[in-house]
Amino acid sequence: MSTKTDLASSVCGGLKGTDEPPSLAVVLKGYPRLSETFIAQEIEGLERRGLRLMLVSLRHPTDTRHHPVHERIRAAVSYLPEYLYQEPLRVLRGWWTARRLPGYRAARAQWLRDWRRDPTPNRGRRWGQALVLARELPASVRWLHVHFLHTPASVVRYTAMMRGLPWSGSAHAKDIWTTPDWEIAEKLADCRWLVTCTAAGRDRLAALAPTPQTVSLVYHGLDLSRLPSGPATRPMRDGRDEGDPVVILSVGRRVEKKGLDDVLAALAVLPKDLHWRFEHVGGGPLGAKLKARAAQLGLAERCVWHGAREQSFVFEAYARADVFVLASKVAGDGDRDGLPNVLMEAQFAGLACVATRVSAIPELIDAGDSGLLVPPADAAALAAALESVIRDPVRRARLAARGRDIVLTRFSFDHGLERIAAWLKDGAVGVGGRASA
């Protein structure tokens, strides 16, 4: 993966190992990220379907590891100035060139309107990044596609105006629920089409779109060809053997919306005769606080915190676990999950899942049939659900089998990706247009 800062220099040789220039630029908030496997899977899938693309990231990576899928991606990746003061000459060169572009005046007027409604450093930074992107984007690029409708889409929107290019997007979770309504509506008026991965997200965006057909529902799904072939064979643990406890697993960032504080509260009230071990995989800012809370509740010796790890480790964790728990909730700032890929992964791996009725989770889990669902931020209900599946391995196996069937039949990665690839090929190679819902 390239770490060059100048976009033109990083793609002057085309795709890695080829002399073909890119016709599509995919803009990301950060790359690569362990928590965004679904985006990397989509990028690799687009390449396998013949799209010549380049990657542009607003931020440098912070994860020290990456997944195998990142190694398989052939596109060059370049980074915009993360903070404008760090590369002032690059920003100045961007402005000097961009101000001569036909769409510069319209883009600047749009940015000033946005600035008056949102006078933040973040808004100024996105304008500076757009100036750089407008200058450095290769002439071969005919279409821009962006992941996340908030700040990355602002950079793409301003750039598209300056360069006279069409753009499309993928909205996921936080960007749907925390971006102001006025901004969503205006971006949806400007983009050619946008996909999102949950029916709840689709409904919100379509209600704000001047043309509701601009927004389509496309589930992420799992690229099953890259995952272990079958579920692990699990012992029928029931929590009675202190030497062989039931393993409860959760995977996700240590942030408020993942509800890990609620998981700890639920574990603390489980009956004393139940023997279990809790494992968590994922990084995030609340790590120290959660470990301190576990110690305060007397759970420290039964909790294992693995930190952010690569996908192979995550699937090893699925294989040795008995129960998967994800206590998603709406955070104080409105942030929430969309359809967490880790739930689909856990079900594919043959785990019984206990989760919450938040966002699109009920679109994946049929309560009582393919998993258990409880209200968010309800530790007592979560504890009762966990206890029921800990004590009953036969029920766990039944829930797990049904969950795996649903992932295999209802959430097809290939079907969704074929639709996105066709729309992008139509734009980056053909004449372009709006997608149909």
Task: Express each pLDDT in 137-169 by its tens digit.
Answer: 999 999 999 999 999 999 999 999 999 999 999
Residue 262, both tokens: 């609620």
What is the Cα Rg of the chain in Å? 23
Please report the pLDDT score of residue 2 as a whole number: 38
Please report the pLDDT score of residue 4 as a whole number: 41
Residues 116-126: what's their mean pLDDT? 95
Give the model's confidence band at 11: pLDDT under 50 very low, under 70 low, under 90 confident, else very high: very low
Q: Which of the two residues, 375 and 227, has the higher pLDDT score?
A: 375
Please report the pLDDT score of residue 243 as a whole number: 96
Per-residue pLDDT tens for 231-281?
778 999 999 999 999 999 999 999 999 999 999 999 999 999 999 999 999
User: Contact at 8 Å (CB) between 8 and 138?
Assistant: yes
Residue 13, both tokens: 């040789």
Tokens 């946008």, residue located: 194
Give the model's confidence band at 7: pLDDT under 50 very low, under 70 low, under 90 confident, else very high: low
Residues 312-325: what's their mean pLDDT? 95
Averaged pLDDT score across all residues of the chain? 91
User: Is pLDDT at 18 greater than 60 in this prediction?
Assistant: no
Residue 294, both tokens: 């576990």
User: Which has the closest alpha carbon to 150: 102, 113, 194?
Assistant: 194
Partners of residue 353 on adjacent β-strands: 324
Residues 286-308: what's their mean pLDDT? 97
**Helix 181-190 vs helix 104-117: angle between axes, to the nearest 10 degrees?**
160
Instruction: Give 43's contacts (C-beta < 8 A, 6+ positions apart).
Output: 26, 53, 55, 73, 75
Per-residue pLDDT tens for 369-417?
999 999 999 999 999 999 999 999 999 999 999 999 999 888 877 878 9
Please report the pLDDT score of residue 3 as a whole number: 41
Residue 14, both tokens: 């085309």
Burial degree of 424 (CB within 10 A; 0-12, 13-18, 19+): buried
φ, ψ of residue 59 to 5 degrees: the values are -135, 150
Count the neighbouring beta carbons within 10 Å of the beta carbon of residue 62.
Answer: 10
Please report the pLDDT score of residue 228 as a whole number: 81
Please report the pLDDT score of residue 187 as a whole number: 98
CA distance 164 to 158: 10
For 137: left if phi > 0, alpha if psi spans -120 to 50, otherwise beta; the answer is beta
**Amino acid of residue 325:** V
Partners of residue 431 on adjacent β-strands: none
Q: Which helix (H) or strand (E) holds 277?
A: strand 276-281
CA distance 88 to 107: 21
Counting Cα atoms < 13 Å in the Cβ hemisphere of 318 gives 27
Q: Which of the two residues, 429 and 372, has the higher pLDDT score?
A: 372
What Å distances lie between residue 321 and 35, 310, 352, CA to CA?
A: 20, 17, 10
Instruction: Give 124's contacts (C-beta < 8 A, 6+ positions apart).
Output: 84, 115
Give the model's confidence band at 6: pLDDT under 50 very low, under 70 low, under 90 confident, else very high: low
CA distance 316 to 433: 43
Residue 356, both tokens: 């919450």
Q: Helix and strand tally (H, E) in the chain?
A: 18, 13
306 three-class SS:
coil
pTM: 0.77
Q: Which helix (H) or strand (E) holds 25?
A: strand 24-30
Please report the pLDDT score of residue 338 as a whole number: 83
> What are the structural domains, with CATH classification, of the chain?
7-221+413-428 (3.40.50.2000), 225-410 (3.40.50.2000)
Partners of residue 279 on adjacent β-strands: 249, 304
107-132 burial code (b ≥16 CB/10 A, e <16): bbebbeebeeeeeeeebebbbbbbbb
User: Is pLDDT at 295 greater than 50 in this prediction?
Assistant: yes
Residues 27-37: what's their mean pLDDT? 87
Count the neighbouring beta carbons within 10 Å of the beta carbon of residue 273.
Answer: 9
Per-residue pLDDT tens for 129-141?
999 999 999 999 9
